Amino acid sequence: MSRTPDTWILTAQSPSRLGTVDVVTRFLFEQQCYVTEHHSFDDRLAARFFIRVEFKAPAAFDENAFRAGLADALGPFDMQMELTAPGYRPKVVIMVSKADHCLNDLLYRQRIGQLPMDVAAVISNHPDLEPLARWHGIPYHHFPLDPHDKPAQEARVWQVLQDTQAELVVLARYMQVLSPELCRRLDGWAINIHHSLLPGFKGAKPYHQAYQKGVKLVGATAHYVNNDLDEGPIIAQGVESVDHAYYPEDLVAKGRDIECLTLAQAVGYHLERRVFLNANRTVVL
């Protein structure tokens, strides 16, 4: 569900306690805020509660007073909360290598307003996609990777993230393994996309390997980055059926489409504050 442009977003999480839904909705009612969307989830195994509310604020709305009052109301429940203003557009940096399909899709969705973000820069270890970024008016940083000095390249990447004040990093088919140090820094605010084929095919040309095994499903997984390669908390997955008539090039084409859709879905969920980290899992409301 897409967000309406005039709503605030309130997200919060806390230990599971009686009255968690009531304290949030009652406060909004007392502040004369009209709830337009509400989702909550209580994880009984983790004993953790999650809530996301979109609401319209009254004309005389004091954000600072609202935040202070909300913090007081949620304090006894040990709630961690976040408030996002209408029209807020986070700064995003996209990292790519040579494949252009995910980058092109994200930039198009930004341009037509489907993804409420401002792409502040594109970073790549290859020069190939600079014309695409420049066409969209976005700075392109080509940082070649020296296998003997990977920290130097990642230091330049980190500097761009700091200079642009990026709040989200999207690895749109960035075909390099990030160092443990950079993964630690990006924990919870970097999204990666990769193919999901059964059985798992690693290395070069996974779709050609899949063809040799006669796969019947092709998919993609979007997840947060952590130090476990392609095993971070999953945000979104896509899958479609294929059959014996799909040659390697057909599988590649199908995979590109699913990767684009799945990555865009995951980025959209993140931008709309729908994703909560819950240990190594996610709650998507």
pLDDT tens digits, one per residue of 151-194? 999 999 999 999 999 999 999 999 998 999 999 999 999 999 99
**63-74 and 20-30 helices cross at what angle (nearest 10)?**
150
pLDDT band at 115 (very low <50, low <70, confident <90, very high): very high
How far apart CA 79 and CA 75 sit, in angstroms, is 6
> Picking from 122-126, 183-187, 209-213, 225-229, which range would have the lowest pLDDT averaged per residue?
225-229
Same-domain status, 125 and 216: yes
pLDDT of residue 3 exceeding 90, the answer is no
Q: Tell me the catalytic residues.
A: 230
Q: Is residue 2 in a domain?
A: no
Residue 108 CB coordination number (10 Å): 14
Query: Looking at the DSSP assignment, which residues form a beta bridge with residue 193?
Result: 222
Specify the pLDDT at position 147: 83
Q: What is the pLDDT of residue 228?
A: 72
- 127 shares its domain with 71: no
pLDDT, one tens digit per residue, over 42-101 is 999 999 999 999 999 999 999 999 999 999 999 999 999 999 999 999 999 999 999 999
Domain count, the chain: 2
Give the DSSP letter of residue 201. -
The pLDDT confidence band at residue 279, using thresholds 50, 70 and 90, is confident
pLDDT at residue 34 greater than cutoff 90 = yes
Report yes or no on 3 lying in a domain: no
Which is more confident, 31 or 6? 31
- CA 14 from centre of chain: 22
Shared domain check, 37 and 148: no
- Which of 36, 64, 84 marks a domain boundary? 84
CA dihedral angle for residue 231, residue 232, residue 236, residue 238, rounded to 10 degrees: -20
199 within some domain:
yes
Indicate if 74 and 185 belong to the same structural domain: no
Domain end residue (candidates: 84, 110, 134):
84
Instruction: Mark whether 80 and 96 lie in a shared domain.
Output: no
Q: Give me the pLDDT at residue 1, please.
A: 53
Q: Quote the pLDDT of residue 62.
A: 95
Query: Domain containing 77 — which CATH number?
Result: 3.30.70.260
Tokens 């504050």, located at residue: 273
Residue 62 lies in a domain: yes
Nearest to 93 by CA among 186, 176, 183, 164: 164
Are residues 98 and 199 located together in one domain of the fold? yes
Query: Does residue 2 carry a pLDDT above 70?
Result: no
Q: Do residues 141 and 164 make contact, with C-beta atoms less than 8 angstroms apart?
A: no
Q: Assess contact for 108 and 132: CB atoms under 8 A.
A: no
How confident is the prediction for the chain on average, in pLDDT?
94
Residue 218 belongs to domain with CATH number: 3.40.50.170
Which domain does 40 fall in, by range? 8-84
